[in-house]
Chain A
């Protein structure tokens, strides 16, 4: 699609553009992509958000071993490795790392950046249930983030700017959702790889360019006749993190002729199901969208809401199988991967395949065998 080519070109020069913006005085705000960071606050302060979503490579994971014992989540170790290796400009140029603190794996990223580098880190806690107290704690946290951003940028956040940012981010979410819903069709008009690519791009691209690209993709998809041909089993891909560049599992699934038609990940994929309600107090509206209404990851307890959501997605998208792709040592997901399969089978009759990765190339062979066997067993 032409729009995707345009977006791809934009991303190729994005780092240079970011550097120019930084030289002009704009602040670059890096953040961990767990879905709890309201980018709207960054835009409303005239700063630029950059989601740190790179992954899939083993070298940074190994490199992080000099700073952190290996028994933490692979993606989180990679975020430490990328920073310490100093090779990726987008990790080097951030003026502030904002960390919505979801669990100890993410805390490890914040702490290593704080201890071993000069980059300033701002943490705000994500409580692990949805009580009123937890909501208020999150709201308080994003208010502190707002103050921090204002002081860092020297720009006071006014209501008009925040409203404008909310509208822009809402539009992005609406479009991602619209495209995602088209994948419910028996002949999904977009491949999983393209959709994930769009989603990942949204963490890095200029928001206006991104929205424009999504509008074009949406229009093109509606015009597309005939739709892509889909014959293989339909897959729900879920797990802890799907980082940009971590496409090994997708390739293996594609090679078997199966197709991922919906994804649900705690980190790495932008959550697009809900929008911010722009009425009333904007900060409360952000907390309502990002904390209260967002389907929580496995580190919530109880964690049932997400499992029920997965079952709903499996039904809505008429999938034939569920592949649980998690990264090593993300223990909350390990727990759920034990008791979710019987729930899934009871509700949908589907079986689940669990795959665990440490971003190691040597995993490909065993993964291929397991994925191929699984797809063979579910093939209609």
Chain B
């Protein structure tokens, strides 16, 4: 029953055989049956490039994460759930400190596997909605997945919640909810986005130091709660490994600058999400998959193969849909190349911050790197990032598909539209959507506006070329 699905997900026959008892137990807990497996097989064939060895292996990483997560309690692991956005360095360091700890963001695991692969995220969201995170009230569907997954028992009850409050305030309140209702201990890394409007790309040391202190405190509380030891050497090692992971991911992404665009963002999505919340597997299997995909991309570029026609108008998008590959496929089918998102890539101002030697202790380096991204710094930081990426990727437009319930990002979309259109003369479509739930924002419901935007970009490009 599992062979076809797991083969599509890059498992070798002997791995499937060996893992079958765990797969069966995990699928039973997640209430995944034959019908779900058939749906998953169809979705993978239709929306992912399963001819690509690298793509299949990247899906495998998530399938492994999913099984590990569902079985973590019965396999005797200590469980810690970082929330999104994570401080990936911490996730990685905790994972490196002990093999007896399961440290992963459950909402991402659920979105990637129950959403992208099985197309069965809705019951998880509905479970959260029935327990206070109502639909239609701008409750983030990512937080709904966190709560719904725990309520449904797919994500086992954790020993500790590791939340972040330096960007989104709903995420830590979700953890506060879980703390109040289920008594789960929590640690929150707090922060205030209180920089002055004109500060970025400078980053005040006040904010770096404050976030650094919160990161260090959280790390210490995690150690106490989980009974693990995270040495400074381990932290430096994880910092270095994390840098290596992202460097290789950026090397891969550079191939997306080719015309025609060689691969779909749908196929690279699993790797990107993996890197935002990395564990041991990301450093081993993840880096191998990236190397494999670099070879495949190289070949595609050599052969002139692409997912959209050569010369297709190129757009920057904010972020790709995490639970439903149909949204991104719909955009590509409209004839638009989407080589990257605003969350990927090192901008010049980021590179300058990375090179800054002002901060020498681990947590301050991590804080400085995170804030230099722009998004976590401020709205001007976010606008600045868009400006830099539009230039770097030489895009014809910005498809600002934004997550309507993101409390932190929802401030920026209309400002980005105004700033990019006025300053850079690049057209921007501000498209309200949901990154983790397509019940209200399906590919079909977004299609008309995307197609019109694609037509406009094509006409503009044609008139430019004379």
Binding site for B on A (CB under 8 A): 66-69, 71-72, 101, 103-105, 107-108, 111-112, 114-115, 121-129, 133-134, 137, 140-141, 298-299, 301-304, 328-329, 331-332, 334-335, 337-339, 356
Complex A-B: 15 CB contacts under 8 Å: A69-B414, A104-B408, A107-B411, A112-B415, A114-B197, A121-B197, A123-B196, A126-B192, A128-B165, A128-B188, A303-B180, A331-B138, A334-B134, A335-B133, A338-B132
Does B411 lie within 8 Å of A68, measured CB to CB? yes
Task: List, in ascending order, chain B residues with CB within 8 A of A124's CB.
Answer: 194
Does A101 lie within 8 Å of B193, measured CB to CB? yes
Interface segment, B9-17, B111-119, B166-174? Answer: B166-174
Of chain B, the residue at the smallest CB distance from A301 is B176
Does A303 lie within 8 Å of B176, measured CB to CB? yes
Known: A331-B407, A338-B132. A104 touches B177 (CB 8 A): no
Kindly state the separation between the CA atoms of A108 and B138 in the bound complex, as whole angstroms. 15
Q: A133-B210, A301-B186 are in contact. List 8 more A-B contacts (CB 8 A).
A: A71-B410, A101-B192, A104-B408, A124-B194, A129-B190, A301-B175, A332-B169, A335-B177
Does B138 lie within 8 Å of A128, measured CB to CB? no
Chain B CB within 10 A, most for which of A105, A111, A127, A134 = A111
Does A339 lie within 8 Å of B138, measured CB to CB? no
Task: List, in ascending order, chain A residues with CB within 8 A of B411's CB.
Answer: 68, 72, 104, 107-108, 111-112
Kindly state the separation between the CA atoms of A161 and B158 in the bound complex, as whole angstroms. 53
Interface string of B232-254 (1 = CB under 8 A from A): 00000000000000000000000
Task: List, in ascending order, chain B residues with CB within 8 A of A141's CB.
Answer: 194
Is B71 interfacial (CB-CB < 8 Å)? no
Does B404 lie within 8 Å of A69, measured CB to CB? yes
Task: List, in ascending order, chain A residues with CB within 8 A of B418's CB.
Answer: 115
Kindly state the separation between the CA atoms of A67 and B137 in the bound complex, as whole angstroms. 20
A335: which of B168, B173, B413 is its contact (CB, 8 Å)? B173
* CB proximity to A under 8 Å, residues B403-431: 404-405, 407-408, 410-415, 418
Kindly state the separation between the CA atoms of A172 and B175 in the bound complex, as whole angstroms. 38
Of chain A, the residue at the smallest CB distance from B174 is A335
Of chain A, the residue at the smallest CB distance from B403 is A71
Is B152 interfacial (CB-CB < 8 Å)? no
Is B275 interfacial (CB-CB < 8 Å)? no
Is B131 interfacial (CB-CB < 8 Å)? yes
Task: List, in ascending order, chain A residues with CB within 8 A of B414's CB.
Answer: 66-69
The smallest C-beta distance from B245 to any residue of chain A, in angstroms, reads 30
3 nearest CB pairs, A to B? A125-B192, A338-B132, A125-B194
Is B438 interfacial (CB-CB < 8 Å)? no
Kindly state the separation between the CA atoms of A127 and B174 in the bound complex, as whole angstroms. 17
Does A299 lie within 8 Å of B169, measured CB to CB? yes
Is B206 interfacial (CB-CB < 8 Å)? yes
Of chain A, the residue at the smallest CB distance from B176 is A301
Does B180 lie within 8 Å of A304, measured CB to CB? yes
Known: A69-B414, A331-B139. A299 touches B405 (CB 8 A): no
Kindly state the separation between the CA atoms of A280 and B427 in the bound complex, as whole angstroms. 58
Does B190 lie within 8 Å of A111, measured CB to CB? no
Kindly state the separation between the CA atoms of A337 and B134 in the bound complex, as whole angstroms. 11
Does B210 lie within 8 Å of A71, measured CB to CB? no
The smallest C-beta distance from A149 to any residue of chain B, in angstroms, reads 15
Is B334 interfacial (CB-CB < 8 Å)? no
Is B179 interfacial (CB-CB < 8 Å)? yes
Known: A123-B196, A331-B407, A339-B132. A103 touches B415 (CB 8 A): no
Does B190 lie within 8 Å of A127, measured CB to CB? yes
Is B355 interfacial (CB-CB < 8 Å)? no
A104: which of B169, B179, B206, B213 is its contact (CB, 8 Å)? B169
A71: which of B177, B193, B194, B404 is its contact (CB, 8 Å)? B404
Of chain A, the residue at the smallest CB distance from B177 is A335
Known: A104-B169, A123-B195. A129 touches B134 (CB 8 A): no
